[in-house]
A and B are shown apart, each in its own frame.
Chain A
Amino acid sequence: MGAPRPHLDGTEAELIRRVCEGDKEAFYGLVRPYERAVYTAAVLILNNPADAEEVAQEAVLKAFSNLARFRGEAKFSTWLIQITMNEARMRLRKDRRHLYESVDEQKTDEEGEYFPKDFADWREIPSETLQRKELGQALKAAIAALPLKFREVLILRDIQNRSTEETAQILGITEGNVKTRLLRARLQVRDALAPGIDGSWTAGASQYRKVRPW
């Protein structure tokens, strides 16, 4: 304690000081603004809302137990989400070992080149326009289908709107890795949503033809 904490705003620094001095109740005030981000990250990593609550709460409890070790090199929310991602990964690993003992970590998720795949399909105008609810479901399914290493970058960058630098810090990878994985995640989600993307979900066929004039 007492070291400079350049990333902390005054309120957070004050709450942390109070918790470290024994005011346990102050800790909930510290995490409350991030509860939903923590839970959403856990749902998207685990693809399972029931496990997500448990993991999200374990992550918060772990942050509480380790608060004295938080030095403020990062923002509190960065640190908290980092703990959450680690908890969620550990749970996933445990479950996977249990379910498919001999299956190695997804071997198909190499960071090789990924090219858009759906040009042929996109020549066809979809027979029916999907409703927004269906679009939301399709989107969540497309994200769930991403290999973990691409999914976690998409969660941090595009869902939680964190910077490349912060994402790299949370995941312990380089900024170059973040960019490569984000590209892959975005292209793969786009392919999964094709051919309804590019407006045909929300606009009519004229919009669709404008985007694909060939």
Chain B
Amino acid sequence: MSVIEISCVEVWREISNYIDDSIDPELRARMEAHFRVCAHCTAVLDGTKNVVKLVADGVEYELPEGFSERLQNKLKNK
């Protein structure tokens, strides 16, 4: 099956939607054909996927000590 070629710039524009699986199957097929032959775009894809994973796993802030108590006190005084 042949698919219509797609440029690197078009791939970059859609790469985030590709990762989120929010593109139509036809575009997905064109992008996948492109990734098979383009090492640069594959690197951008893998890097972006890693960013999504890292951000989801790695960005957490613990509540400061006493945060909840201070909040409950403020609520009591409202």
A, B assembled together: yes
**Which A residues contact B (CB, under 8 angstroms)?**
24, 27-28, 31-32, 35-36, 39-40, 43-44, 49, 52-53, 56-57, 60-61, 64-65, 113, 115-116, 119, 122, 135-136, 139-140, 143, 154, 158-159, 161, 164, 179, 182-183, 186-187, 189-190, 193-194, 197-199, 211-214
**Which B residues contact A (CB, under 8 angstroms)?**
9, 12-13, 15-17, 19-20, 22, 39-40, 42-44, 46-48, 50-52, 54-56, 58-64, 67-68, 70-72, 74-76, 78
Q: Give the complex CA separation of A36 and B62 in angstroms.
A: 7
Say yes or no: A143-B75 contact (C-beta < 8 A), given A187-B12, A197-B51. Answer: no
Question: Are B67 and A53 touching (Cβ within 8 A)?
Answer: yes
Question: Are A35 and B47 touching (Cβ within 8 A)?
Answer: no
Question: Are A39 and B13 touching (Cβ within 8 A)?
Answer: no
**Residue of chain B at shortest CB distance from A179:** B17
Q: Give the complex CA separation of A211 and B47 in angstroms.
A: 9
Q: Give the complex CA separation of A52 and B50 in angstroms.
A: 28
Question: Are A183 and B55 touching (Cβ within 8 A)?
Answer: no
Q: Give the complex CA separation of A182 and B56 in angstroms.
A: 14
Say yes or no: A197-B47 contact (C-beta < 8 A), given A159-B56, A212-B39. Answer: yes
Question: Are B39 and A139 touching (Cβ within 8 A)?
Answer: no
Question: Are B75 and A39 touching (Cβ within 8 A)?
Answer: no
Question: Are B67 and A35 touching (Cβ within 8 A)?
Answer: yes
Question: Are B59 and A139 touching (Cβ within 8 A)?
Answer: yes
Q: Which of A61, A65, A158, A164 contacts B55 (CB 8 A)?
A: A158
Question: Are A32 and B68 touching (Cβ within 8 A)?
Answer: yes
Question: Are B42 and A35 touching (Cβ within 8 A)?
Answer: no
